[in-house]
Structure 1
């Protein structure tokens, strides 16, 4: 299957999207990272609007200017653990997640 991840430098990454937001997930532990991000979102806005944050073990690791930098740092620091990269922007009340996987 030729999708976003077939030629991606992080072959174990998987994507969930809701047409507006993009979250890249590695392994399990997603719920704790989502909960932490949502709880801290008001504090991240507006200073980091449009930037990317890396969450691991339900804690904010760092803020990055680009998706590529955030993914690289997440993979280099948390390859054996779960981590999430999320763009900082207001969330809608309901998010429908769809998984994209390389087969």
Structure 2
């Protein structure tokens, strides 16, 4: 797994960051707007935004005194494709286990 992909999974492991990504799916938001639903300080939200930015999941731009964030879907698409291969593997493994458990004892 590349370091870039690893950073994506580290970023989305946190429920607050996942909620921020979900909020950005509807459009650009300031860091303050991302912080509001979580009752956290601007500094706390900025740390989460920093992790998301480092992972390449969002990009920021400055507008006056505000930092505006928007989602970058490409890294999520790459992570989803990587996960899909493992979904197929585990589906086959779990199907085999189910069949073994249903088989009559010998």
TM-score of the pair, normalised by structure 2: 0.26
Higher strand share: 1
Structure with greater Cα Rg: 2
TM-score of the pair, normalised by structure 1: 0.26
